[in-house]
Amino acid sequence: MKKELMEILACPVCKGELELKIEAEDAEEIITGELICHKCNETYPIEEAIPNLLPPSMRT
């Protein structure tokens, strides 16, 4: 995902701000990392440049 996406992304549960933790990135995109909501104490993984913003209860 592109870093600019952070400006529009919000926690799917509380609509709060997300903190970005980058594990791997290239010139354009974040490849792997995490989006963290401190309000919900929840993390959403970014894998293969795609953020998984499903609430934890809906993940398979």
For residue 34, which of 47, 17, 46 has the smallest C-alpha distance?
46
The least CB distance from residue 9 to Zn ion, in Å, is 11
Stretch that binds Zn ion, among 2-10, 20-28, 40-48, 49-57 (CB under 5 A): 40-48
State the distance between the two ends of the chain, measured CA to CA, in whole angstroms. Answer: 21
Which of 39, 50, 52, 55 lies at the binding interface for Zn ion (CB under 5 A)?
39
Which of 2, 3, 16, 47 lies at the binding interface for Zn ion (CB under 5 A)?
16
Q: In what order do the strands lie in the sheet with 30-37?
A: 19-25, 30-37, 42-47, 50-51
- For binding to Zn ion (CB under 5 A), which residues are involved? 11, 13-14, 16, 37, 39-40
